[in-house]
Structure 1
Amino acid sequence: MTMMKKPLLRPFSLVLAFCLLLTACSTLKPPSLPSPTPSSMATPSATALVAPSPTRGVSPTPAASPTPVPPHEPRLLSRLPERGQEQLVDAPIVLQFDQEMDRASVEKAFAIEPAVEGTFSWPDKQTLQFQPGGSGFAREATYRVTVGTGARSAQGLALVEPIEFSFRTVGYLEVAGAFPAPDSADVETTSAIRVVFNRPVVPLTGIAEQANLPPAFTITPAVEGKGEWINTATYSFQPAKGLRPATTYQVRVPAGLADATGGVLAKEYAWSFTTQQPAVASVEPADGAKYVSPKGGVRVTFNTAMDRADVQKRFRITKGGQGPAISGQFTWVENTLVFTPTATLEYGATYRAEVQAGALAEDGQTSLANAVTWQFTVAPLPKIVSVFPRAGATNVEPGKSIEIRFNSPMDPTTFREFVSITPTAEIWPQFDEEDTLARFYTYLRPSTRYTITVSAG
């Protein structure tokens, strides 16, 4: 009997091991239904082989129903005009609430001070508009709007607190600046005339549309030129040939000029200015100039257009301010007279130039009030006036610079070609501002006699 019981233990141990393996793997996937176990192999631990009953189908979870939000008191979401915004005189006041409102109660609770007649409208169930009647709101005025707590929502809930705000309407068009400045004198004849307003007058446009925009002012006496709006609030007029000298101009901006908001200039704005007398703006060579080229011309620039023939009759150059006038040719470059002497001017001589008083401006009505005179000196023929070290000097320090001073300016670009040093040494010349002092550096050997030569030419 003992021999027959031993073989029965092995199948049981294998079955148990297999069942333990399945139990360990059951956490990874649903358990499979095991095959029926013979009743002869049943043991207390064999309950691990019993498959669970198949899972029945799960019924779908019903969707949650939102809990109705209880009604709340109405609130103002937005308004026009906004805080700090100027209100157009014909624009409506707009109040938008966060829910449908009881129209009758809102209109009854609405008040504005000072009182303004108008009408109510509702673009939608939440938005009230108040449109002022007649000519609208007054310009440059402050209004206060109140909606009392009697205003209710469509569900009958009242405002928790009244709605209160103030706003200001757009003002009148005004001139913020004028140029040339009012009552200014000695204004340049090339000046533009300009006016700046406190608010936009014209819309933004391209250059092609400028001709369709109205001019901002008139000028007396009349001036030929071109006016344009350089931005929406600035108008500028540029004279074609400049303003007349010694003339008082009146500029008028007419009353009624309207801005982009409909605001108008309440009354005419006028100012005046006076242009400068005809005068000499600059001369060349300058008064007191020295080292002037003997072949150079004389230039006289005026501050305005002149009567060229009359100016030429009143212009003269003399040597030393005496003797006959120097002959030459006249040409003009805009407002500048250019005089070119027929003969070369004398080296080292001083000349006096003059434009006599009474020279007429181009308009023929104004003239040069005072004569203008100046003088200049032609450069002399160049020569050396001093050297350092002096000729024959001994015990010269090798590191000292060599200097040559001339009586007139030299050409720094060609100077080196005409200077030599014996024994040969490299030189690096430098000139002062007037080009009359040449200072150059070189390496000199001790106890050596050097000769420096400046060639003619």
Structure 2
Amino acid sequence: MDPHSPFREPAFGRIRSAVRGFACAAVALLVGCSGGGGTSDGAFLPPGLDKTAPTVVHVTPSNGTRDVGTNSPLTIAFSEPMSETSLGAAIRLVDEASGAPVALGAIDYDSANQLVTVFPQSPLGANRQFEASIGTDAKDLSGNRLASEHRWRFTTAAGADTTPPTVTSHTPAAGATDVAVGNSIAMSFSEPMDARTVAAAFELSNGTARVAGTLESIGQAAVFKPAAALAPAATYVATLRSTATDLAGNPLAADYRWSFTTGSNGSGAGIVDTTPPTVLSVSPAPGSTDVPRDTRLIVTFNEPIFPFLYGTVDGATVDVVIDYAKNTATLIPTSPLRAQVTYNSGVQARDLAGNTMPEPYRWDFATGP
């Protein structure tokens, strides 16, 4: 868990085969998960000294992605704030067919989202495979190096990405009533978004007054956390203007707007959510066998959850897609699962009011040949 971010808390557990045992590693939901692998017994360290190595928690394009627009940049999200000056020399992009490095242009570090965006100097070659990497020269603000080099591959499309992104789901839902006054507002998108444009384009208002708060956006999700509790029994309008763009610079086709109403109790105070979320179902089901090696894990909750869930499968990162219409989180391994092994999985989610499940929900399944 990143102690520096108000948003990133423990969530998906690392999914590992039975031969290697269960461990926790997702930055958004598992108890005891801390970013990185720095070690120290602490006996001779000043109180509060950071000796934890940072880790990579999310990249775009994700490992194995095909049909990436030739105009698409790379993004790398970290478990904690990073030293901007250490990043440029640590990042490489190589055309795998020729072995030639790709010349990189601007490298933009977004400290609010702990996210670096890397722009190639020229459009990438069409229909080619590339390997991206960030090495251990990348450091956090305390000088701790990245825990290990992180590599991933992707394949470009025949041309540039010109498709506008869309908002695929959000919470609270349009027209929702009795919304808890302490809840954050969350959105999911059809593709990874430019975090800064989303932050600049989002507004929550109550009549004519704009609500102060902080927005974090990584990949295909964004969360707005109001600076103070919302007013009870009040109608709010959420607006994402069309100036929000995907990573290739394509804007939303139009402004996206919806409204919801907060609740109040009998005394006129706002409704406060103090109940942790629970898992209603998982897929593959507990004890499943002969599970396809390209399976996606789906966890259904009883309420909307915090969207920034990160984890690994056999050391490879995963993509997580949130659907607020169904209250599901879909975990997509970026590499095939191994054949005929039993995998252990766990999830410990936090809802948008900040309530965390007291214990992880754990289950096993076995892959087929």
TM-score (normalizing by structure 2): 0.30
Which structure has the highest helix share of the two?
A: 1
**Greater relative CO (CA pairs within 8 A, separation 6+):** 2
Structure ID, larger Rg:
1
TM-score (normalizing by structure 1): 0.25
